[in-house]
Structure 1
């Protein structure tokens, strides 16, 4: 990967529907050269997919919380993944250092549905407890969601 590839990726992150010609103008390549590079980046699995990002305020999923997840004993990341993938309201999660075992981001329609999603996480056999913080306003959001 070189600086041209990074520039193409940056532009695709901003707008995955940008034309190869528009990207080419920005990075100084022809549309066909951009297409070849994008095809290679996809084939090499550098670009793993293209997606749609829907405004949570429009689709009714504007209630969000960060949840610290604390487990009983040692729980493998694959087990945490299995638990969390079963909760559709979980939009992001990762294991972390510190006292919590994982940080989970949950998005739901409202507080009652947030509570229901939290309960799905809490009843998993290896989960001891959770600690939640509801997001009041977003200050920085570079991921687009």
Structure 2
């Protein structure tokens, strides 16, 4: 964020997300700050303060608290995957051995192109979003890398034909 840049990244306070305790309740100003930062993570403290009608010191303190509480996990850019060279995207569902979530998650997080991983309920256990350069790389990722994880019992690949990032409400 220009004008009093906020720290982010692996070494930043709260960058890990989970602080081990529940975050303090959010008020309407906190929610407005989150909405603004979600729409523009590069917004300056001054701009945020003006738009939510608080002082810069108050906005700065609130954003720092949201980071420290793990509510804000970091700042990032929204990427057009295709323009960035990732022409194939897919959601991959996995059935895994019971009680193996943590070890499977660690292995999935190391995969090239892994963008999001979630433990879910239903007909499968894990939902993984991946971006690869092309279908050949996607095939290799699924058949060679993911299916070779011993705790993975089965996979199903759902090709993404088009993606749209949803913008926060104005």
Query: Is this a same-fold pair by TM over 0.5?
Result: yes
1:109 to 127, 133, 144: 133
2:67 aligned with 1:42: yes
> Who is 2:56 aligned against?
31
In the alignment, does 2:104 pair up with 1:80?
yes
Query: Corresponding residue for 1:58?
Result: 83
TM-score (norm 2): 0.75
The one of 115, 119, 135 equivalent to 1:95 is 119
**Whole-Å Cα distance in 2 between the matches of residues 116 and 142 of structure 1?**
30
Q: Give the match's secondary structure for 2:79.
A: coil
Q: 1:143, CA displacement in angstroms?
A: 7.2
* 1:80-131 C-alpha deviation (Å, 9 max, x unpaired): 2122122122111111112212111111111011111112101111212211
Q: Secondary structure at the match of 1:116?
A: helix
Query: With structure 1 as the length reference, what TM-score do the two structures score?
Result: 0.87
Give distance in 2, aligned partners of 1:82 and 1:7: 34
Q: Say if 2:60 is the partner of 1:4.
A: no
Gaps of 5+ in 1: none
The CA deviation string for residues 51-97 of structure 1, in whole angstroms up to 9 with x for no partner, is: 233321221013111111123x4242102212212212211111111
- SS of the residue 1:115 aligns to: helix
1:3-56 deviations in Å (ceiling 9; x for gaps): 101100110111111011211222112223211211222223222222233321
CA RMSD of aligned residues (A): 1.9
> As a proportion of its length, which structure holds more helix?
1
Q: Count residues in correspondence.
A: 142
User: Which of 134, 138, 145 is the matching residue for 2:159?
Assistant: 134
